[in-house]
Amino acid sequence: MSWGGALAQQLAISHPGCVRRLVLAATVPGVGGVPGRPSALRVLATPRRYYSPSYLQSVAPTLYGGRIRREPELLRQQAGARLDRPPSLRGYLGQLFAIMTFTSLPFLRRISAPTLVLVGDDDPIVPLLNARILQRGIPDARLHIVPGGGHLLILESAEEVGPVIAEFLDGTSPPPP
């Protein structure tokens, strides 16, 4: 999910024998993908949301979109995970540098594992077009769009995406069109 999806792409490209099935959620192909909304990217420039509950509360709708924007009580349920184990400044800056210099675009065709690409259509960080780029670039990829889903779609829409992921990982989901 998110930054981890870029890491998962790299693993699938570099070590295809280690990846039987791949789920990419709310992620990008890196450089060459479609950037998020400037208001969300501005918030991403700092790890402040991991250290200040009031700041997280104020920026979460702009940053995460989806049900977090429409149902603030969901943020209260998720806030603990973000505030309990904040990243170090060095680690956070390392992640920003990594995502700003990463691209999988020239290598997507090398992903041989069946892939499920999940995206919400209300994700301010990762616009829907990125999921379409991944789906078209990966030979055996299926796209699942969560209407109204935001960047935290796996957490905020678990009741919808959980069964989709389970069927895909079990190999019982229909093949991509």
pLDDT digits (tens, 9 = 90+) for 75-100: 877 777 777 888 899 999 999 999 99
Distance between CA atoms of residues 47 and 91, nearest Å: 10
In a domain, 19, yes or no: yes
Find all residues with CB under 8 Å of 136, minimum gap 6, and list them. Answer: none
Query: Is residue 14 annotated as a catalytic residue, yes or no?
Result: no
In a domain, 22, yes or no: yes
* Residues belonging to the chain: 177
Q: E-strand spans in the chain?
A: 22-25, 115-120, 141-146
pLDDT tens profile 33-52: 999 999 999 999 999 999 99
pTM: 0.92
Domains contained in the chain, number = 1
Cβ atoms of residues 26 and 1 within 8 Å: yes
- Here the CATH number for the domain that contains residue 146 is 3.40.50.1820
Average pLDDT of span 129-147? 97
Structure tokens at 61: 């709708």
Q: What is the pLDDT of residue 177?
A: 53
In a domain, 40, yes or no: yes
Phi, psi at residue 3, to the nearest 5°? -60, -35
Tokens 């693993």 locate to: 11
In a domain, 177, yes or no: no
Cβ atoms of residues 108 and 29 within 8 Å: yes
Structure tokens at 68: 């977090």
Distance between CA atoms of residues 79 and 9, nearest Å: 27
pLDDT tens profile 47-86: 999 999 899 999 999 999 999 999 988 887 777 777 788 8
Q: Which domain holds residue 97?
A: 3-170
Which of 2, 52, 104, 157 is an active site residue?
2
In a domain, 68, yes or no: yes
Q: Is 116 helix (H, G, I), strand (E, B) or coil?
A: strand
Tell me the C-alpha to C-alpha distance, in Å, between residue 101 and each of 42, 95, 168: 18, 10, 30
Q: How many CA atoms lie within 13 A of 24 on its CB side?
A: 35
In a domain, 175, yes or no: no
Structure tokens at 124: 């301010």
Q: What is the pLDDT of residue 174?
A: 62
In a domain, 176, yes or no: no
